[in-house]
Amino acid sequence: MKKHNFSAGPCILPEEVLKKASEAILNFNGDNLSLIEISHRSKPFVAVMDKAQKLVLELLNLEDKGYKVLFLQGGASTQFLMTAYNFLNKKAAYLNTGTWSSKAIKEAKLFGDLVEVASSKDNNFTYIPKEFEIPVDADYFHCTSNNTIYGTQLKEFPTTDVPMICDMSSDIFSRQLDFSRFDLIYAGAQKNMGPAGTTLVVIKESLLENVQRQVPSMLNYKTHIDKDSMFNTPAVFAVYVSMLTLEWLKDIGGIEFIEKVNNKKAELLYNEIDRNPLFKGVVNKEDRSTMNTTFVLTDESLKAQFDTMCADAGISGINGHRSVGGYRASMYNALPLYSVQALVDVMQELERNN
């Protein structure tokens, strides 16, 4: 029996994507060569990169709007550095909603002054700050759309004339947004799009006009745009599987369709957490993430029993992040509704037994 995979990342992937990817490892495009041993500059892989980039723009409704798509390496952690290196000239504004935005702030401080416009650190990042002001003279505003560790998600984004940069690593392609409001989006593929190894960057080309310092080649967005993500050898397998996942998403109805599915999954699990006296959520209800549901037992003596029941039901990956404990069910795009139902069934069984 295939397990119900609630892992926070690397993420669950669609079954059909895994099958196609495994076939390509042995024989890509019927050429009797493996995907991972062909040249990244060969026509077959250049076509993969081109298709992946076009699918990103199509799914985000950013075609013909002045955006470029890059598949880079180094994860979101390198983007914490890279965004500031390119665009922080004097002062930048950051919203601090968790571990990853805190890490982004740490890196950005190397390049200029920072204004932390708001933070939820005072209550262990269990809510999203509201009604903050972004300085009009900031070089850019940076936020994290979804917080995997704490289970919070921005439901609304500020309206500002300042360029907006967003880390969407864990909820990219999961819900409908006006993506044209963002000047730069970055996302590690392994949270909701593909395997670990590549990082998606969607950047408005006009933003490059704001670069005022000399930036090393590997950290310069223009370098990678000019070379179409081929300045250095890209993560061939990760890009290919990301392309397959984007194809899958398009074929099932795109972001409009998957958002409805994701909402159903989140509603099912949150309703059980709120109903079942043995469990409780740990973040503000209005800020709950549809991707990462965090919760705890009201009686910790039941932990061993609950963990055993989950394991017996084939439920995997629901332990909370090591820094916060408890439980975390990550419900990325490819996680089926029946997997969430399986978890709810175990929670109800625990209630009946106790």
- How far from chain centre, in Å, is Cα 247? 18
Dihedral sign from CA coordinates of 324, 325, 329, 334: positive
Residue 296 and residue 275: Cα distance in Å, rounded?
13
Provide the strand spans (E) within the chain.
4-5, 67-72, 91-96, 113-119, 141-144, 146-147, 152-153, 164-167, 184-188, 199-204, 279-281, 292-297, 315-316, 327-330
Which one from 68, 139, 167, 248 is the annotated catalytic residue?
167
Residue 354 and residue 349: Cα distance in Å, rounded?
9
Which one from 100, 139, 204, 265 is the annotated catalytic residue?
100
Residue 83 and residue 205: Cα distance in Å, rounded?
14
Q: Tokens for 140, please give them.
A: 């850019």
- How far from chain centre, in Å, is Cα 52? 17
- How far from chain centre, in Å, is Cα 223? 24
**What DSSP string runs through 261-313?**
HHHHHHHHHHHHHHH-TTEEE-S-GGGB-SSEEEEEESSGGGHHHHHHHHHHT
Based on the residue annotation, tell me whether 100 is a catalytic residue of this protein: yes
Q: In this structure, are residues 76 and 199 in contact, taking their beta carbons and an 8 Å threshold?
A: yes
Q: Tokens for 311, please give them.
A: 């394991």
Which one from 68, 139, 191, 204 is the annotated catalytic residue?
191
| Chain position carrying tokens 């795009």 | 333
CA dihedral (9, 182, 97, 111) in degrees, to 10, reads 100
DSSP 73: S
Residue 332 and residue 350: Cα distance in Å, rounded?
25
Q: Please, which residues bridge with residue 94 across strands?
A: 116, 142
User: For 22-29, which contacts have Cβ atoms below 8 Å and span 24 or more sequence positions?
Assistant: 24/240, 25/237
Tell me the catalytic residues: 100, 167, 191
